[in-house]
């Protein structure tokens, strides 16, 4: 945030920030319409330039901070303000925590849901993120590697990152040198990184196939940098080609070792995953018999649940489900665990199918599980456990369940996205 005037055209205004919105931007009012201003906090008085319209209001660029609200601190990362990875490093810790604690109640109140017992949030510390999606591009003879800039396709060339595990952070410079030398003709691409338990898993998304020299460089790099697997694909819809595989990457879910597919969805941190699993298990009834694990992914909840009851894991992604099933067979759980590949948006489990279960666990993507929640709401399942990474879509789904006769017993927030507007949760519903 600048404390001196910055030149700029367009419509310029002086505004005072009222609140921080659900997406992390400060919100002021202009002509009765909201103005969303990044990197601000309540009480800030500043000069801004109006940009594009957004959500019935305006997006604005801060030009000059005239008076400072309470709770500002110096952001700890040199990339803050440019990098799109964090929105809230300018908030002092106590103000950041207070804002995160309001995200779920505010989302519920917008759906007319009040009085829900909310447990104390579990805050996962920085430096624990085990997976990341980075972009690389060439500019001015240098290869840049990092996250996208805010509201831009430009790339922030990362010097450091407070979110990543130290091991992932240490890998960035060798990876930058590899891409610069091995892919001289590729102007743009992506790298999906996973810090697994037995090494790193890398998936390169590049349009061109590496030549023989490049493949030799990849193998040398992988041997030197403790890479478990290195794959490449032209996009994420195509089966990746293995460029190097010392051994399949391993993640342990419950007591079972799972080999996730290249680029597969996983919880961003091991610590956050443990907190979510703990809350899911606490939400189970005393002696569950049959559990439906919907949007099961690679089995992060399936295998801990299988220690309590038989589980049917339902997932739309074939590669993720194949990894889950292979791990179930290796560990002798092919009996207690059953799998089904199914698009739960287009074909949710119907109420009559849900009658076979006494517990349903569902962990949908950010857009939520509207179609599936409608079916659960008309079912007779006694216990429902919702996992969500988006309080607004969760609140919408929760309202459907409550209107169907469920009681929302408690919610456990888990913040494994430090300084971002995201917040995960586990919620327990019962009849």
Cα 307-308-310 angle, rounded to 5 deg: 90
**215 in Cβ contact with 243 (< 8 Å):** yes
**197 in Cβ contact with 251 (< 8 Å):** yes
Per DSSP, 129 falls in state B
Rounded distance between C-alpha atoms, residue 318 and residue 398, angstroms = 28
Q: In whole angstroms, how far apart are CA 57 and each of 32, 46, 51, 99, 126?
A: 9, 18, 10, 22, 33
Instruction: Write out the two tokens for 201.
Output: 């898993």
**204 in Cβ contact with 232 (< 8 Å):** yes
Rounded distance between C-alpha atoms, residue 357 and residue 354, angstroms = 6
Task: Give which of 329, 265, 275 is closest to 303, Cα–Cα.
Answer: 329
Instruction: Provide the 3-class DSSP secondary structure of residue 217.
Output: helix
Residue of 77, 86, 389, 428 marked catalytic: 389
Instruction: Write out the two tokens for 194.
Output: 């996973």
Longest pairwise C-alpha distance within the chain: 68
Alpha helices in 64-194 (DSSP H): 93-110, 166-182
Q: First-to-last CA distance in the chain?
A: 50
Can 389 be counted among the known catalytic residues?
yes
Instruction: Write out the two tokens for 291.
Output: 């559990």
Rounded to the nearest 5 percent, the helix, strand and coil shares of the chain are 25, 35, 45
Residue positions counted in the chain: 431
Rounded distance between C-alpha atoms, residue 125 and residue 230, angstroms = 28
What sign results for the dihedral spanned by CA atoms 399, 400, 404, 406? negative
Residues 6+ apart with CB under 8 A from 135: 145, 146, 147, 148, 155, 188, 189, 190, 191
Backbone torsions φ then ψ of 71, nearest 5 degrees: 110, 10
Catalytic residues: 389
């Amino acid at each position: 945030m600048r404390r001196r005037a910055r030149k700029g055209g367009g419509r310029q205004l002086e505004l005072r920030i009222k609140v921080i919105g659900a997406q992390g931007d400060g919100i002021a009012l202009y002509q009765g319409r909201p103005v969303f201003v990044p990197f601000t906090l309540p009480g800030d008085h500043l000069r801004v330039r109006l940009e594009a319209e957004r959500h019935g209001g305006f997006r604005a660029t801060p030009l000059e901070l005239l008076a400072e609200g309470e709770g500002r601190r110096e952001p700890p990362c040199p990339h803050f303000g440019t990098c799109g990875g964090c929105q809230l490093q300018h908030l002092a810790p106590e103000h950041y925590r207070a804002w995160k604690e309001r995200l779920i109640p505010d989302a519920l109140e917008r759906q007319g849901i009040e009085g829900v017992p909310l447990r104390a949030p579990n805050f996962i510390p920085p430096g624990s993120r085990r997976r990341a999606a980075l972009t690389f591009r060439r500019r001015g003879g240098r290869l840049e590697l990092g996250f996208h800039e805010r509201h831009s396709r430009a790339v922030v060339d990362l010097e450091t990152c407070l979110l990543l595990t130290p091991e992932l952070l240490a890998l960035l410079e060798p990876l930058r040198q590899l891409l610069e030398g091995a892919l001289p003709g590729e102007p743009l691409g992506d790298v999906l990184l996973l810090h697994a338990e037995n090494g790193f898993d890398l998936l390169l998304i590049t349009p061109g196939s590496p030549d023989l020299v490049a493949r030799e460089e990849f193998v040398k790099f992988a041997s030197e940098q403790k890479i478990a697997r290195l794959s490449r694909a032209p996009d994420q819809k195509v089966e990746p080609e293995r460029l190097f595989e010392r051994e399949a990457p391993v993640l342990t879910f419950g007591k079972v070792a799972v080999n996730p597919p290249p680029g597969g969805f996983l919880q961003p941190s091991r610590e956050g995953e443990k907190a979510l699993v703990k809350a899911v298990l606490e939400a189970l009834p005393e002696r569950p018999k049959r559990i439906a694990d919907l949007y099961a992914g690679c089995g992060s909840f399936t295998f801990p649940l299988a220690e309590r009851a038989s589980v049917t894991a339902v997932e739309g992604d074939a590669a993720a489900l194949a990894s889950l099933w292979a791990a179930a067979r290796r560990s002798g759980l092919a009996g207690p665990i059953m799998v089904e590949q199914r698009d739960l948006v287009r074909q949710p489990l119907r109420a009559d199918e849900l009658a076979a279960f006494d517990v349903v666990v569902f962990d949908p993507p950010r857009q939520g599980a509207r179609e599936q929640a409608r079916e659960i709401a008309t079912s007779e399942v006694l216990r429902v456990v919702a996992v969500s990474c988006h309080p607004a879509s969760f609140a919408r789904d929760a309202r459907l369940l409550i209107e169907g006769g469920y009681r929302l017993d408690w919610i456990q927030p888990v913040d494994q996205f430090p300084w971002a507007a995201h917040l995960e949760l586990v919620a327990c519903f019962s009849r």
